[in-house]
């Protein structure tokens, strides 16, 4: 049965400890963990807190940057990704979100080789530890230094190349939902989705992401969720909201609204199962 998860990017200004506490108080017991917050709190302490609270981890954000677009050396980015995989194994995270890194000044063939070599090593470690990697395609307008994977076709090509049950996709409605043709693709790729990131938007993405509360934007979220469930996806829906509309003073209300909106998106399917 599909479950609601709250991503720590949504409550950007809260600490890791505050996120765990307030999510639980709101009746949300699945969390998308942001590595920076966990590191600030202390990884061992954080894992212990998750265990004590009974929180499950839908996804761990993030690993990658293999092209050096974020300023790191190639070897450092691989080692960091391996550390993320090992951390995910310790906390029993459902998956680790993966970004390839942007093209930068590299020629395309060199970028592809860097990504292929790095991912071969990281996928190998993930396979040994039984940790799923989730490659995220991003809208081209805001992919920038994050990734060269800007559509489903490119993401599926990477998955096809490695053909591993431990390499899947992130389906982010903010990045993919602006093209209504995506509805016709969901049936083909549902089995390859590790986690869904839920976000709405009033306008197409720009360089800086500016999301909207669920149901307050123009994306066909109901149709997307209906298509995902019809295709057999029954995993986590991780609410990831960031942008100029989200202020710390509104975080408690945002949790309640997200919970209510998710209930409305999935209600008819829950009723159908109970009949």
Q: What does the pLDDT look like over 68-88, one tens digit per residue?
A: 888 889 999 999 999 999 999
Q: Tell me the average pLDDT across 227-233.
A: 97
Q: Tell me the average pLDDT across 21-29.
A: 98
Residue 205 predicted with pLDDT over 60? yes
User: What pLDDT score was predicted for residue 274?
Assistant: 47
Cα dihedral 244, 247, 253, 256 sign: positive
Residue 222 predicted with pLDDT over 60? yes
Q: How confident is the model at residue 106 (pLDDT cuts 50, 70, 90)?
A: low
Residue 111 predicted with pLDDT over 90? no
- Of the two residues 242 and 1, the one the predictor is more confident about is 242
The range of the structural domain enclosing residue 135 comes to 3-274
Per this entry, what is the length of the chain? 275
Give the whole-number percent of the chain exceeding pLDDT 70: 97
Give the whole-number percent of the chain exceeding pLDDT 90: 89
User: What pLDDT score was predicted for residue 18?
Assistant: 98
User: What pLDDT score was predicted for residue 69?
Assistant: 82
User: What pLDDT score was predicted for residue 178?
Assistant: 96
Residue 96 predicted with pLDDT over 80? yes
**Is residue 172 classed exposed, middle or buried when 0-12, 13-18 and 19+ CB atoms within 10 A define those classes?**
buried
Q: Tell me the average pLDDT across 126-140.
A: 98
Task: List the structure tokens of 166.
Answer: 């431990």
Q: What angle is formed at CA 150 by the lines to CA 149 and CA 156, rounded to 5 degrees?
A: 60
**Domain count along the chain:** 1
Phi, psi (degrees; rounded to nearest 5) at 197: -100, 125
Residue 271 predicted with pLDDT over 60? no
Mean pLDDT, the chain, whole residue set: 95
Residue 275 predicted with pLDDT over 70? no
User: What pLDDT score was predicted for residue 273?
Assistant: 56
Nearest-angstrom CA–CA distance, 49 and 31: 12
Residue 212 predicted with pLDDT over 60? yes
CB 218 within 8 A of CB 202: yes
Q: What does the pLDDT look like over 143-193, one tens digit per residue?
A: 988 999 999 999 999 999 999 999 999 999 999 999 999 999 999 999 999
* CATH code, domain with 237: 3.20.20.150
């Amino acid at each position: 049965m599909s479950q609601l998860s709250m991503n720590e990017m949504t409550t950007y200004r809260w600490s890791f400890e505050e996120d765990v506490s307030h999510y639980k108080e709101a009746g949300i017991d699945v969390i998308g963990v942001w590595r920076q917050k966990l590191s600030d709190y202390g990884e061992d302490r954080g894992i212990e807190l998750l265990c004590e609270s009974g929180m499950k981890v839908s996804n761990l954000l993030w690993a990658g940057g293999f092209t050096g677009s974020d300023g790191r050396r190639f070897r450092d980015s691989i080692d960091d990704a391996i550390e993320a995989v090992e951390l995910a194994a310790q906390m029993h995270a459902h998956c680790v979100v993966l970004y390839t890194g942007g093209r930068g000044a590299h020629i395309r063939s060199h970028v592809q080789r860097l990504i292929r070599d790095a991912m071969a090593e990281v996928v190998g470690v993930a396979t040994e530890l039984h940790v799923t990697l989730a490659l995220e395609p991003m809208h081209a307008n805001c992919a920038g230094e994050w990734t060269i994977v800007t559509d489903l076709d490119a993401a599926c090509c990477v998955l096809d190349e490695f053909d591993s049950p431990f390499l899947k996709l992130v389906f982010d409605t903010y990045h993919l939902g602006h093209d209504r043709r995506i509805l016709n693709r969901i049936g083909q790729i549902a089995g390859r989705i590790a986690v869904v990131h839920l976000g709405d938007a009033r306008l197409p993405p720009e360089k800086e992401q500016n999301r909207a509360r669920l149901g307050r934007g123009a994306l066909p979220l109901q149709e997307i969720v209906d298509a995902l469930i019809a295709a057999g996806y029954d995993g986590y829906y991780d609410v990831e909201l960031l942008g100029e509309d989200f202020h710390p003073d509104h975080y408690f209300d945002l949790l309640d609204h997200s919970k209510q909106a998710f209930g409305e998106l999935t209600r008819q399917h829950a009723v159908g199962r109970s009949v």
